[in-house]
Amino acid sequence: MSQLGQVVGILRKLNDEYQMSTPKKLKLIDAYLVYVLLTGIIQFVYCLLVGTFPFNSFLSGFISTVGSFILAASLRIQLNKANQSTFNVSPERAFADFVFAHVILHLVVMNFIG
C-alpha cells in the first residue's frame, strides 16, 4: 500500500514539475504528441479487432502516426532551450525541417494507403 502511495506521490510531483518548468511551446507540442499517440492506438486496436485486411492501409495509417510522432518529438527536442548546447540549429530551421519531412511522409503514406 505504501508502495502505491509512493508511486502516486512521485507522479504528482512529476506532473507539478512539468507544469511549471516546461515552456508553452513545448507543452503545445506535447499535446500534439498525445493526439498522434491516441490516433495510432485506436488504429492498432481496430486492426486487432477486425483483422489485417487490407494490410497496406493499416500499415500506412499506422506508419503515418508513428512518423508524425517521431517528427514532432524531434522538433520538440530541437526547440528545447535546454538542448541548445547539443544542437546548433535555430527554431525556424527546425520547423522548416519538420514541414519538409512531413511533406515526404505524407507522400509515402498516400502512396501506400492504396
Partner 1 sequence: MTSTSLMRIIIFILPIFSWYITSTIASNLNIVNLNGLKAQFQTAIKSFSDVASLHYTLGGVKELGVQLPDSHCNDIKKLVDKSNVESIYHATEAAKTLVNCKLPAEDYRSTLTSVLQSDESKTADIYYAVCSSVNLGLNIDESNIEKRLNTLAKTDDSILSQAYGLLTGAQLSQPIAKYYADTINDLVQQADEIDGRILQYEGGIGTTAFIVNSFYEVAEKAGVSIKTDPKQLIKFATYFSSKRHVATLRSAYYLTKVFKHLCDNKNPVPIVVSRISPSAISPQNPSVLVSITNLLGQPVGEMSVVAESAKRKEDGVVVISKQKLISKASDFSVYELPFYDTKIPRGFYTIHLTLTARNEGKLIGLTDNIIDVKVTSEGTIENAELIVADRDHGAQSKTYKLTYPNAQSDKLELDYHQKLTVKFQIKDKQSDEFMPVQQAFLRFTNKQSKKEIIYLAEATDNGNSQYKVEVDLTTNANDFRYQSDKYELVLILGDSLLQNAYEWILNNNVHLTFHEDSLPDKDYKNLYLPRQEIIHQFREDEKRPPNIVAFVFSTLALLPLLILLILWLKLGFNLSGLPLGLSPLGFHISHGAAFALMFFYWKYLDMFQTIRYLALISIPLFLFGHRVLSTLAARREKKA
Binding site for partner 1 (CB under 8 A): 24, 27-28, 31-32, 34-36, 38-39, 42-43, 46, 49-51, 53-54, 90-93, 95-96, 99, 103, 106-107, 110-111, 113
Shortest separation between residue 3's beta carbon and partner 1, angstroms: 31
The rounded distance, in Å, linking the Cα atoms of 74 and 63 is 16
Q: Which CB sits closer to partner 1, 85 or 92? A: 92
- Backbone CA torsion sign across 68, 69, 71, 76: positive
Q: Which CB sits closer to partner 1, 57 or 74? A: 57
Helix (H/G/I), strand (E/B), else coil: 30: helix
Shortest separation between residue 9's beta carbon and partner 1, angstroms: 25
Q: How far lies 114's CA from each of 43, 52, 63, 110, in Å?
A: 16, 14, 14, 7
Shortest separation between residue 35's beta carbon and partner 1, angstroms: 4
Q: Residues 80, 26: contact at Cβ < 8 Å? A: yes
Q: Which CB sits closer to partner 1, 1 or 24? A: 24
Asked, as a colleague might, if the bond just before 91 is cis with ω within 30 of 0, I would say no
Shortest separation between residue 67's beta carbon and partner 1, angstroms: 14
